[in-house]
Amino acid sequence: MPELRFDDRVAVVTGGGRGLGRSYALLLASRGARVVVNDPGGSVAGEGADAGPAEQVVTEIAAAGGQAVACTESVATAEGGRGIVHTALDHYGRVDILVHNAGNVRRSSLKTMSHDDFDAVVDVHLRGAFNVVRAAFPLMCEAGYGRMVLTSSIGGLYGNHDVANYAVAKAGVIGLSNVAALEGAGDGVKSNVIIPGAVTRMAEGLDISAYPPMGPELVAPVVGWLCHETCSITGEMIVAIAGRVAKAVVAETPGVYRPSWSIEDVAGQIETIRDTAAPLVFPVVPNGHNEHIAYSFAMAQSREGVFHG
């Protein structure tokens, strides 16, 4: 296969100064993309500011013969989101690729989590995703081309202890990407979710002594393909962790139909309701929403109460 390149493409990478984002920015630039490296340089908790990380990545890219510009705006505000995208427009005249990777962590149990810590994490991960998508998406649609990669997490899929704020935000990103995939389908804009696992500074405080190798370089090529013009999927979730790459899906059981239900009926049928032997998957694009409804309605209209397809 010929090398997949990004010549003449302009990419925006949020959280691009360290960890996963740095790997994404370096890889895209090494393949010819002009990159906006966005990172305000705050702490893991999202506090403070330091232009150094973003500028250092730009220096690395330039030293390797690539093109990049640093941007220290915060994704957490609408103004910051617009500023990040306009940095691409001001320097390179366009935006073809958006990777929303910016993140922070504030751990606390659900019993004790403060509203401030909840908001601070949702503001970066979820509202931050909306802020940059809202600024870039119309431009991509107008241009008839775009690739967006939004970052979720296994915490968003399955939850985890002490990160209700993070789990909520990462679950919300999936819905945002799905809508972007649906609304962008007619305009050549694709949106997918990366669910990465890598040891970065956001793993501080965790016991990683038994972890296999799982550096950012094992995730970056997956994001690179999702950013490329040959990417053949949209509205999907791709997992990349410790060298394993997989697709994650939302699935339903076939379920049970009754013309009426009582609490006791639910109790009596719960094992059949939950039977995952024949799962159903309704792809987001072209219209998983309507396919779900159609399947449910067809079951209701079946004489036997069981829909066979």
Catalytic residue among 92, 158, 166, 257: 166
- Decide if 166 is catalytic: yes
Q: Is residue 105 within 8 Å of 202, Cβ to Cβ?
A: yes
Structure tokens given for 103: 């993140």
**Would you give the distance in Å from CA 153 to the centre of its chain?**
8
The identity of residue 309, as a single letter, is G
Select from 198, 19, 20, 46 the least CA-distant residue to 128: 46
What whole-number distance in Å separates Cα of residue 24 and Cα of residue 35?
Answer: 10
What whole-number distance in Å separates Cα of residue 238 and Cα of residue 24?
Answer: 15
Compute φ and ψ for 292, nearest 5 degrees.
Answer: -60, -50
8-state DSSP, 278: S
Looking at the annotation, which residues are catalytic? 166
